[in-house]
Structure 1
Amino acid sequence: MAYVNPSGEFNRDQRYIPTRITADGRDGYPVEPGRYRLIVSRACPWANRAIIVRRLLGLEDVLSMGIAGPTHDERSWTFDLDPDGRDPVLGIERLQEAFLARYPDYDKGITVPAMVDVPTGQVVTNDFSQITLDLSLEWSAHHRPGAPALYPEELRAEIDKINRFVFSDVNNGVYRAGFAGTQEAYEKAYHRLFDRLDKLSGLLETQRYLVGDTITEADVRLFTTLARFDPVYHGHFKCNRNKLIEMPVLWAYARDLFQTPGFGDTIDFVHIKQHYYVVHRDINPTGIVPAGPLLANWLEPHGREKLGGRPFGDGTPPGPPSPAETVPAAHGAI
């Protein structure tokens, strides 16, 4: 399975299923506790956003979560972490089955995160950007007491603006570098990425979070890329001007979020490294997974409290994850 574009610039296929799960059910899928299952892989940064938002908003009891393994083939993600290799709720071996159940001739990417309608076994949507926003806006009746406002109306325009350039230059920017098929395309993506990281460093030097004085959707989206930067993007995707740990402001910002309940406790560094180094064989033909980097430094003091800010605003931190959703200690920052 090839990922590199031999003709030059990597262009992400963004043809996602646009169906939405909403409070009024206008697309035919109303918000209902227990009806839907969020399918993720801890390896995937796009899915990691949904895992974090679900945790922060306290939706675990109304929206179950299935966790696919860290690697996949051309046919899609598999549930090899489950004892019999099947998702225990949906009863399927591959996420592909839920897509084909709704669209028998589906010809686009089988991606995570995906929301699946449990009664029919059909995928509802894999539109990762909209999924997290809808968890904030459409599922609000089921948020935990003290849930933070991740997408407050008064900050929405600014959050959207930051999300646009963080996506194009950073979230997708690392892939544009890693999957570039020519020197010119790679260097263009490389400079675009680090130019944006420099601008973000300048912004975050004087404020604790990207927008306002609390954690928002914007921080969630940047964090999942930063968490993967040194383990995979620096080497595997050749984003090697600096490591994250060599960019003081962004490194402190990332540690601040990592040490915030709901962020670092969702990160599985073992799955992250296995996914990129094993799946992308056209970049890493041997499939060898690097032993490093050292990760205990994620738990070192970050000093960002001096900038003020209130992580959860008027809300409270989420409780610990359930045992079934806890990342193994050996897979975290040790």
Structure 2
Amino acid sequence: MSETEQEHEQGQARSSADHSTKGAYVTSGEEFTRDTAYIETRITRNAVDGFPVEPGRYRLIAARACPWANRAIIVRRLLGLEEAISLGTPGPTHDSRSWTFDLDPGGRDPVLGIERLQEAFFRRDPNYPRGITVPAIVDIPTGAVVTNNFPQITLDFSSEWSQFHREGAPDLYPEPLREEIDRVNRRIFTEVNNGVYRCGFAGSQAAYEAAYDRLFVALDWLEERLTHQRFLVGDTITEADVRLFTTLVRFDPVYHGHFKCNRNKLTEMPALWGYARDLFQTPGFGDTIDFQQIKDHYYIVHEDINPTGIVPKGPDLANWHSGHGRERLGGRPFGDGTPPTAS
């Protein structure tokens, strides 16, 4: 292998990984900075980018282990888009090239027929230079990725795919609340969703401590906010709750120890812990969670943080089903709608 080929392979190993660590690895002395350049093509009713909303045409590829992909799985389920958009689920770990379909018979996605998600990215662009990330939406007829722009994917599920929502689907992005939802989402992304990664992939003590302080300032803000209201914005579940939940559900099993976010556990923050359990016990949230896949992913894939690859047995997660008492704050999870039926 030539020096150039070796550099390419090393770059692929660093950037392909999972969406949750897109391009993420510890660089000595540096603060972790997330690469947020995605394929921004959208699937819309007017097909402005050449991809019309069309049931059965697209396949969502989303690993249950990844928090960013988990969002798309939750929103798809809440809105009842299962018949319109099929779901492919890579396993929790992957090789240096990309996510792999090792949970499927023969190690191939049964619809796309591919072993690695990388193949769908290369069908879009044979020289695709960036991370092979989930969630990704693949055009089934061509086998090529349409988009991996995870924040836009869930917003488009709510707006562009409304014709195919189930009866009683919630409005996760209501027009009157969008400005506040967007404002809350920005802080959640920078300080919490990405904040745990800044702690885990910090390349110096100073970078780690700065990231740690920012994270817990934000968690304290959320603790105060959720002490007085059941959901983040308004009195129903919105996109903001989905985005926060996928980080909270991974906090004690992974981020507290693996990423050194250890000022306290989620279970030691009464409002956040009650809120997280409230959502977990709501159809569409907890039924998308696989704690073993989550732990396997982080502790095995992140070799620079956990070189032994040992996956911890704990913590005991049975308490996610315990009573939360959040009903006393009022609110209606699905507004005038209804929960999704059992999956």
Aligned-residue offset at 1:73: 2.2
Identical-residue share of aligned pairs (%): 74
- In structure 2, the partner of 1:78 is 100
- In structure 2, the partner of 1:121 is 143
Structure 1 residue 61 and structure 2 residue 70: aligned? no
- In structure 2, the partner of 1:30 is 52
Q: Where in structure 1 are there 5+ consecutive unaligned residues?
A: 322-334
What SS does structure 2 have at the residue aligned with 1:228? helix
Two-structure CA RMSD over aligned residues (Å): 0.6
Counterpart amino acid of residue 107 in structure 1? P
Aligned counterparts of 1:107 and 1:249: Cα–Cα separation in 2: 43
Aligned counterparts of 1:320 and 1:134: Cα–Cα separation in 2: 24
Structure 2 residue corresponding to 1:90, chosen from 100, 112, 117: 112
Structure 1 outlier segments of 4+, above 6 Å: none
- In structure 2, the partner of 1:328 is none
Aligned-residue offset at 1:74: 2.1
Counterpart amino acid of residue 131 in structure 2? G
Equivalences for 1:1-334 in 2 at 5 Å? 1=13, 3-321=25-343
Aligned-residue offset at 1:167: 0.1
Per-residue CA deviation, residues 118-152 of structure 1 (Å, 9 max, x unaligned), is 00000000000000000000000000000000000
Aligned counterparts of 2:35 and 2:154: Cα–Cα separation in 1: 19
Asked if the contact 1:8/1:184 (under 8 Å) is kept, the reply is: no
Counterpart amino acid of residue 226 in structure 1? L
Counterpart amino acid of residue 245 in structure 1? T
Aligned counterparts of 2:208 and 2:80: Cα–Cα separation in 1: 40
Aligned-residue offset at 1:6: 1.6
Aligned-residue offset at 1:154: 0.5
Q: Where in structure 2 are there 5+ consecutive unaligned residues?
A: 1-12, 15-24
Aligned counterparts of 2:28 and 2:75: Cα–Cα separation in 1: 36
What SS does structure 2 have at the residue aligned with 1:132? helix
What SS does structure 1 have at the residue aligned with 2:146? strand
Per-residue CA deviation, residues 91-141 of structure 1 (Å, 9 max, x unaligned), is 000000000001110010100000000000000000000000000000000
Aligned counterparts of 1:222 and 1:144: Cα–Cα separation in 2: 24
Aligned counterparts of 1:58 and 1:150: Cα–Cα separation in 2: 12
Aligned counterparts of 1:158 and 1:4: Cα–Cα separation in 2: 34
What SS does structure 1 have at the residue aligned with 2:105? coil
Aligned-residue offset at 1:5: 2.1
Aligned counterparts of 1:201 and 1:7: Cα–Cα separation in 2: 32
Aligned counterparts of 2:206 and 2:228: Cα–Cα separation in 1: 35
Aligned-residue offset at 1:237: 0.1
**TM-score normalised over the length of structure 2:** 0.93
Aligned counterparts of 1:126 and 1:299: Cα–Cα separation in 2: 33
Aligned-residue offset at 1:8: 1.4
Per-residue CA deviation, residues 16-56 of structure 1 (Å, 9 max, x unaligned), is 00000001111000000000000010000000000000000
Question: Which structure shows the higher helix fraction?
Answer: 2
Counterpart amino acid of residue 34 in structure 1? G
Counterpart amino acid of residue 155 in structure 1? L
Aligned counterparts of 1:179 and 1:246: Cα–Cα separation in 2: 24
Asked if the contact 1:273/1:289 (under 8 Å) is kept, the reply is: yes
Per-residue CA deviation, residues 172-229 of structure 1 (Å, 9 max, x unaligned), is 0000000001000000000000000000010010000000000000000000000000
